Structure 1
Amino acid sequence: MTSPLKGLLQKTALASIFSLLCTTPFAAQAQETDNQLFTDRIIVKYKESAKAGRTATMAKETVDKASRRAGHKMRHLRRMATGAQVMRLEGRKNKAEINAIISRLKQDPDVEYAEPDRIMRAMAVPNDPSYLNQWHYFESTGGLNLPAAWDVTQGEGAVVAVLDTGYRPHPDLVGNILPGYDMISDTFVSVDGDGRDSDATDPGDWYTDKACGDDPRIPSESDSSWHGTHVAGTIAGVSNNNMGIAGVAYKAKIVPIRVLGRCGGYTSDIADGIIWGAGGSVSGLPTNTNPAQVLNLSLGGGGSCDTTTQNAINTARGLGATVVVAAGNETDNASQYSPASCNGVITIASTNRNGGRSYFSNYGSVVDIAAPGGAQSFSNDPDGILSTHNSGATVAGSDSYVYMQGTSMAAPHVAGAAALLYSVNSSLTPDDVESILTTTARSFPASCSGCGAGIVDAAAAVAMATGGNSGGDGDGGDGEGTGASWTETNLSGGWRSRRDFTIEVGSGTSSLNVQMYGGEGDADLYVGHSNSSQWACTSGNSNNNESCTISNPQSGTWTITVYGYRSYTGATLEAEAAP
């Protein structure tokens, strides 16, 4: 099988045509807050030197003593194999109460440790047999951190439009397909022998005999790519069906919009597809009854963003749709490609399994963020991205699964992550989605210059989109005017917790300096002005040592957020508005 299309595929008669972009494809989660019921049991380990630490049962007087110290009546349940004692309170308590009880119990010199007997629940890991081959979802180095996000949402209620080659009714995908549209008006490109209609299935996009032109960069022939099926499977492949793979937002729905066929697709068809997908009006077409909150464009061509495409994107954004586009696979500056260089889109670079830039990925200042796109050494290399596919070389054959690589494969990871955000917060704007994804992105574990803010962290993004706050609202101090400063010590928080502090910055301030240090765990730092939805500064090292400096800061209230990338304790936070 020959390689799928790479770069801009052009037929001599097609002046403006787009290609597939694959080479061979704030606030924390609604975690238990201090006022939510947590547990009714506590584990207490007494020192071996104490009588209670050596007995299989606890004497009534020992239990009564512990109850008085705890400030709550307790009863003994059993001794554990570790030698610790399990105690039950009279009813479940919230986290704040449990922490207070434990603090009081630890004051007993005979107690080695005390901790909540927490309730654990099954993680939302799919039962799809090939999920374990989807390293791009769960591996800590190069993955999207999806399992933790799935504990909160799987994309219910979100709709993603996939502007691509159409789709095959793959049994691991078709259950999440909504009615779409075939936008291709030229019969040479469409392959199916007709123009625009409501059938968005993919008949194949193969070609032979240099049908796409004499450009030596373009293969003289190519088998069908089934590109749209692969992209759609990454976004919303059906999951927990004991079959194949899982999608990023596997309970979201896909509206397939066929804009690419033989040799690519026209700008005009793609622009109409963008508007129609977002719920806008296109002359001669029925209204899309399932307007998408997210549009995925794993396609592109040479040249900066054209007016037609930009206008279509503006319309889609005006209708509330987030537009996710692939940066391109030419190892070049993405500013020279469209729609990667358009305004108002989220442009995605590709990372490999090590979390560095894929060798083929475009890069540059127009790139917003990165996601797994793979990097293969040979055909169907498992270092690529695994998703739904078809075995047919020309026309459709049997349903299959294939590893592909490309920014085409990176973009649907982000479109799926955006669907997860809309699932938990349907009121988000496109700017909100971009801000959340870039703010919560994790640092690159390997070299990825020009790849944007970092690798998408689905769990952290979902946590921020939920609007919860599991860390309490701290106010760091009154910090009035220039030269104001304050220090908060012994900060701690759980995984995905958030602590907010504020400082007032007066006019004429030369710099706002914020730093955090000490303790254990991993907390991240975000600093932004209250009048802006964008963070002015973020810092995300793999520990508590973070710093942000803003030169000539705008006067007014600034928010300083400490976010628990993992649990952390004992951190110190300092802020200074220097004159």
Structure 2
Amino acid sequence: MKSTLKSLLQKTTLASTVSLLCATPFAAHAQEADNTLLTDRIIIKYKESAKVGRAAIMARETVEKVSHRAGHKMRHLRRMATGAQVMRLEGRKNKAELNAIVSRLKQDPDVEYAEPDLIMRAMATPNDPSYLNQWHYFESTGGLNLPNAWDVTQGEGAVVAVLDTGYRPHPDLIGNILPGYDMISDTFISVDGDGRDSDATDPGDWYENNACQIPDPRYWEADSSWHGTHVAGTIAAVGNNNMGVTGVAYKAKVVPVRVLGRCGGYTSDITDGIVWAAGGNVSGVPTNANPAQVLNMSLGSPSAASCSISYQNAISTARNLGATVVVAAGNAGAVANHPPGNCPGVINVAATNRSGGLSSYSNYGSAITVSAPGGQQSFLNDPNGILSTHNNGSRNPGSDSYFYNQGTSMAAPHVAGAAALLYSVDPNLTPDEVESILTSTARSACNGCGAGIVDAAAAVAVADGGDNGGGGGDGNGNGDGVSWTETNLSGSWRSRQDFTIEVAAGTSSLNVQMYGGEGDADLYVGHSNASQWECISRESSNNESCTISNPQTGTWDITVYGYRSYTGATLEAETVP
């Protein structure tokens, strides 16, 4: 029967809509400044002297009287501890509508006060003083949309391995560092004078002119980069410690794996590091006590080449152990074909700038999985870069500091941190599921940037089951109703997205509403066994609402159809006993 309902939508109900679209040019829909839908509940407190008792408030005639005065149909939900009453409207209202309703209710001389029953949310924005300089987290155009994700999780329980130059014990990072390992076997590269050991701290990776014996100006001479410390800070610098910056997943933990030193690092050491980080066995090296769910590799070959068998075997081993592998796409400003970013099974990350476009240095093309903020600097330590933990030593370690860097090396840890947030809410995710969530929820960006810029909040919402944590039933969290929320819905003209909700016996109401974002999507609601839709809402925006009283028991279908293209919409459904 479900297929019958869906085919009906395609062949009949929407056919006339499509023909209308073909015949009529799109009209511009006015958007009011206060058009965001806020709540569907009102709190009313009657005066003690009023001749309206508790029983009378819940009586049908009293509710009808209140509804008439409000100008909107209402029903009684419950009595509050203060003696006030919670009333529900038919669908959420925007600020202007709520103000008008409250104003009309206050005209009743028996009403002590009336006010919207607004939804409050946890405010997880960190208190770190330089957070406001981390535009790459919160700016709507080029940022990762982290504040809304942090309202759900800050990365608790997730472990990320950073395969890089090691780490400095920066006070804004050390609290989230777990024991790591130095995988560098060559003492010239290691700089620290020894081979593999359990000390993953970064002694510096500086080199003098011609030391690397590579005919490339980029390898003639360089100070220490403190690259691994910067990358690790983007992933998991400690948050809410009133110090410096914060990380994408600021309650996650980092396992540092030192694979890069003077002039870089060998594939043989890096691939051993991949296996070890994910919890695999490496000869002569003790097993990692904290296997990582995410591996970040902000590294790669400067030249295009095929993915080696060594890399592919190591990556496949890590994936089989459950680890998601995130790799920087490279900074050659060319089509992405650089290992290990071009290896099957990795999330290959391009860099975007503060305006949300492809950074000029970033590799691009069909091999890119997603993109993330990497910055675009015009000068050294430019605020248009990515701010993170650093060190001010030119060769050997100096004082701990913070620094703006740019590169796909900075973009990849944003994605690794976002993946950590996903594992925090669902530790059972597979690498394929993590990639699917990140790509399906990314917001569109430039050509060649993969699925788009990672949207941390939208990805976390999907991993968390699409539930905003709100209670159903009587509205105080103690009911037996069902509720769920899907955020950041987007679609093209004529596109459709299908959802379902289970309705239990005795349910008094099924409420479905959509709001927010831009464009124009329509809402269709109907029982799976029915031959037609129970409710069709076609307002000239994304603001749609369907309320079905005494709905039939069983599965109900909910379809969002793109009357025009639309973005950023929120869909909510609930059953009320």
Q: Is the 8 A contact 1:279 1:292 kept in 2?
A: yes
Name the TM-score, length of structure 2 as normaliser.
0.69
CA shift at 1:316, angstroms? Answer: 0.2
Q: Is the 8 A contact 1:518 1:544 kept in 2?
A: no
Query: Following the alignment from structure 1 to structure 2, what is the Cα–Cα distance between the partners of residues 458 and 229?
Result: 22
Q: 1:62 to 1:343 in 2, by over 3 A?
A: same
Show the counterpart of 1:383: 384
Show the counterpart of 1:565: 568
Q: 1:289 to 1:500 in 2, by over 3 A?
A: farther
Q: Is the 8 A contact 2:129 2:243 kept in 1?
A: yes
Query: Following the alignment from structure 2 to structure 1, what is the Cα–Cα distance between the partners of residues 199 and 49?
Result: 72
Q: Is the 8 A contact 1:98 1:116 kept in 2?
A: no
Secondary structure of 1:265's partner? coil
Q: 1:217 to 1:171 in 2, by over 3 A?
A: same
Deviations 1:76-97 (Å, cap 9, x if unpaired)?
A: xxxxxxxxxxx994149xxx98
Show the counterpart of 1:347: 348
Q: 1:503 to 1:351 in 2, by over 3 A?
A: farther
Deviations 1:479-511 (Å, cap 9, x if unpaired)?
A: xxxxxx9999x9623679xx999999xxxxxxx
Worse-matched range after superposition: 199-208 or 62-71: 62-71
Q: 1:110 to 1:166 in 2, by over 3 A?
A: closer
Query: Following the alignment from structure 2 to structure 1, what is the Cα–Cα distance between the partners of residues 246 and 103?
Result: 51
Deviations 1:28-55 (Å, cap 9, x if unpaired)?
A: xxxxxxxxxx99972469xxxxxx9xxx
Q: 1:108 to 1:430 in 2, by over 3 A?
A: closer
Deviations 1:96-144 (Å, cap 9, x if unpaired)?
A: 98346999x9999966998741252451110100000000000001000
Show the counterpart of 1:155: 155
Deviations 1:267-286 (Å, cap 9, x if unpaired)?
A: 00000000000000000100
Aligned amino acid, residue 492 of structure 1: Q
CA shift at 1:450, angstroms? Answer: 0.5
CA shift at 1:467, angstroms? Answer: 1.4
Q: Is the 8 A contact 1:324 1:347 kept in 2?
A: yes
Aligned amino acid, residue 565 of structure 1: G
Deviations 1:416-452 (Å, cap 9, x if unpaired)?
A: 00000000000100000000000011122xxx21100
Query: Following the alignment from structure 1 to structure 2, what is the Cα–Cα distance between the partners of residues 65 and 278?
Result: 64
Q: Is the 8 A contact 2:259 2:265 kept in 1?
A: yes
Query: Following the alignment from structure 2 to structure 1, what is the Cα–Cα distance between the partners of residues 386 and 228?
Result: 14
Q: Is the 8 A contact 1:181 1:256 kept in 2?
A: yes
Q: Is the 8 A contact 1:324 1:348 kept in 2?
A: yes
Query: Following the alignment from structure 1 to structure 2, what is the Cα–Cα distance between the partners of residues 109 and 167?
Result: 60
Q: Is the 8 A contact 1:332 1:361 kept in 2?
A: yes
Show the counterpart of 1:454: 452
Query: Following the alignment from structure 1 to structure 2, what is the Cα–Cα distance between the partners of residues 42 and 492?
Result: 17
Q: 1:379 to 1:286 in 2, by over 3 A?
A: same
Show the counterpart of 2:17: none
Query: Following the alignment from structure 2 to structure 1, what is the Cα–Cα distance between the partners of residues 277 and 420?
Result: 15
CA shift at 1:355, angstroms? Answer: 0.3
Show the counterpart of 2:318: 316
Q: Is the 8 A contact 1:522 1:544 kept in 2?
A: no
Secondary structure of 1:221's partner? coil
Query: Following the alignment from structure 1 to structure 2, what is the Cα–Cα distance between the partners of residues 292 and 464?
Result: 22
Q: 1:89 to 1:522 in 2, by over 3 A?
A: closer
Q: 1:70 to 1:326 in 2, by over 3 A?
A: farther
Aligned amino acid, residue 185 of structure 1: S
Query: Following the alignment from structure 2 to structure 1, what is the Cα–Cα distance between the partners of residues 516 and 88?
Result: 18
Q: What are the ranges of 5 or more consecutive residues in structure 2 without an aligned counterpart?
A: 1-37, 67-75, 108-113, 469-481, 486-495, 500-510, 518-522, 529-536, 545-559, 573-577
Q: 1:501 to 1:324 in 2, by over 3 A?
A: farther
CA shift at 1:468, angstroms? Answer: 3.8
Secondary structure of 2:387's partner? strand
Query: Following the alignment from structure 1 to structure 2, what is the Cα–Cα distance between the partners of residues 101 and 58?
Result: 32
Show the counterpart of 1:397: 398
Query: Following the alignment from structure 2 to structure 1, what is the Cα–Cα distance between the partners of residues 313 and 254?
Result: 24
Query: Following the alignment from structure 2 to structure 1, what is the Cα–Cα distance between the partners of residues 198 and 524?
Result: 50
CA shift at 1:63, angstroms? Answer: 9.3
Show the counterpart of 2:372: 371
Query: Following the alignment from structure 2 to structure 1, what is the Cα–Cα distance between the partners of residues 310 and 165?
Result: 20
Show the counterpart of 1:545: 564
Show the counterpart of 2:502: none
CA shift at 1:367, angstroms? Answer: 0.4
Q: Is the 8 A contact 2:184 2:260 kept in 1?
A: yes
Q: Is the 8 A contact 1:350 1:407 kept in 2?
A: yes
Deviations 1:369-415 (Å, cap 9, x if unpaired)?
A: 00000000000000000000000000000000000000000000000
Aligned amino acid, residue 162 of structure 1: V
Secondary structure of 2:420's partner? helix
Aligned amino acid, residue 331 of structure 2: N
Q: 1:310 to 1:61 in 2, by over 3 A?
A: same
Show the counterpart of 1:167: 167
Secondary structure of 1:224's partner? coil
Show the counterpart of 2:88: 98
Q: Is the 8 A contact 1:460 1:565 kept in 2?
A: no
Q: Is the 8 A contact 1:74 1:88 kept in 2?
A: no
- Describe how 1:70-469 pairs up with structure 2 within 5 A: 89-91=78-80, 98-99=88-89, 116-301=116-301, 302=303, 303-335=305-337, 337-444=338-445, 448-469=446-467
Q: Is the 8 A contact 2:219 2:263 kept in 1?
A: no
The Cα RMSD (Å) is: 4.2
Q: 1:501 to 1:201 in 2, by over 3 A?
A: farther
Report the structure, 1 or 2, having the larger helix content: 2
Q: 1:403 to 1:97 in 2, by over 3 A?
A: same
Query: Following the alignment from structure 1 to structure 2, what is the Cα–Cα distance between the partners of residues 273 and 243?
Result: 31
Q: 1:100 to 1:216 in 2, by over 3 A?
A: closer
Q: 1:210 to 1:565 in 2, by over 3 A?
A: same
Query: Following the alignment from structure 1 to structure 2, what is the Cα–Cα distance between the partners of residues 426 and 420?
Result: 10
Secondary structure of 1:375's partner? coil
Deviations 1:9-29 (Å, cap 9, x if unpaired)?
A: xxxxxxxxxxxxxxxxxxxxx
Query: Following the alignment from structure 1 to structure 2, what is the Cα–Cα distance between the partners of residues 486 and 268?
Result: 46
Q: Is the 8 A contact 1:183 1:269 kept in 2?
A: yes
1:60 and 2:58 equivalent?
no
Aligned amino acid, residue 150 of structure 1: W
Secondary structure of 2:300's partner? strand
Q: 1:306 to 1:503 in 2, by over 3 A?
A: farther
Q: Is the 8 A contact 2:42 2:87 kept in 1?
A: no
Name the TM-score, length of structure 1 as normaliser.
0.69
Q: Is the 8 A contact 2:351 2:373 kept in 1?
A: yes
Aligned amino acid, residue 350 of structure 1: A
- Describe how 1:27-46 pairs up with structure 2 within 5 A: 42-43=42-43
CA shift at 1:217, angstroms? Answer: 3.5
Secondary structure of 2:453's partner? coil
Query: Following the alignment from structure 1 to structure 2, what is the Cα–Cα distance between the partners of residues 503 and 183?
Result: 59
- Tell which has more relative contact order, 1 or 2 (C-alpha 8 A, sep 6+): 1
CA shift at 1:213, angstroms? Answer: 1.7
Query: Following the alignment from structure 1 to structure 2, what is the Cα–Cα distance between the partners of residues 522 and 250?
Result: 35
Query: Following the alignment from structure 2 to structure 1, what is the Cα–Cα distance between the partners of residues 194 and 497?
Result: 69
Secondary structure of 2:157's partner? coil
CA shift at 1:72, angstroms? Answer: 7.3
Secondary structure of 1:545's partner? strand
Query: Following the alignment from structure 1 to structure 2, what is the Cα–Cα distance between the partners of residues 267 and 132?
Result: 38
Aligned length: 449
Deviations 1:136-160 (Å, cap 9, x if unpaired)?
A: 0000010000001000000000000
Secondary structure of 1:292's partner? coil
Aligned amino acid, residue 545 of structure 1: R
1:493 and 2:482 equivalent?
no
